[in-house]
Structure 1
Amino acid sequence: MEKYKNISNFEQLLEVEHGKMGTESRVQYEENSQKFIISEMLKEARKEANMTQEQLAEKTGTKKSYISKIENGKGNIQLSTLFRLFEVGLNRKIGLTFL
């Protein structure tokens, strides 16, 4: 618990747990975090559209198993596929922010 004593914000906590930006552990953490966020956003948008994974896959030319992998944070997704799922399949716009 001593290593947490002087932590006053989330960035400091991340550095203690995963290292500074650019370290292997931190890169892996950030990648996993983004996968989780995308998976939850896709799942929520699909449910709001009252679509099954199979219906979304059919509408976007992918497979249900691929949609399932993405929604469970198990697969990597290409940017073009991400756009197709949200914009073609779910009629949602995507915006990207680079920090």
Structure 2
Amino acid sequence: MKATEIKSYSLAEMKDKYIGQVGTAERDNYEYELRMDVLGRMIKTARQERNLTQEQLGQLIGVQKSQISKLESGTNSATIDTILKVFKALKADIHFNVTLENQYVQLV
């Protein structure tokens, strides 16, 4: 008797199959939401390490507690300006890496 072979798939193959190919609207939306989720968790972790409430962080940057909550849960798309204000208030460094037509640009 032959043992059953199990097919393995990479994460990229699974995303291509179930979410959509790179460059499609579905895939772009998924990748964007994933980045916002990761960013939200980073904000929440940094805020908690500084022993700040959402309300206190909001006061530091001039927004309501609800906006901080939405940022942390990844349900709100924020401007770069707001994200920079949040990390500055948290006394955290943030770095952006951008690739423009094979040129690497870093914003520190």
Q: Which segments of structure 1 move beyond 4 Å, counting only runs of 4 or more?
A: none
Unaligned ranges ≥5, structure 2 = 1-6, 100-108
Aligned match of 2:82? 81
Task: List per-residue Cα deviations over 1:61-94 (Å, max 9, x = no partner).
Answer: 111111011111111100010000001x100111
Q: How many residues align?
A: 94
How well do the aligned residues superpose, as a CA RMSD in angstroms?
1.6
Cα offset, 1:6, TM superposition: 5.7
Cα offset, 1:14, TM superposition: 1.2
TM-score normalised to structure 2 length: 0.79
Aligned match of 1:67? 68
Q: Which has the higher strand share?
A: 2
Larger Rg belongs to: 2
Question: Percent identity at matched positions?
Answer: 32
Rounded to whole Å, the distance in 2 between the matches of 1:13 and 1:28 is 16
Matched, 1:30 2:48: no
Unaligned ranges ≥5, structure 1 = none
Task: List per-residue Cα deviations over 1:24-77 (Å, max 9, x = no partner).
Answer: 110111011011101100000000010000110111111111101111111110
Counterpart of 1:24, as a letter, is: A
Aligned match of 1:57? 58
Aligned match of 2:96? 96
Q: Which has the higher helix share?
A: 1
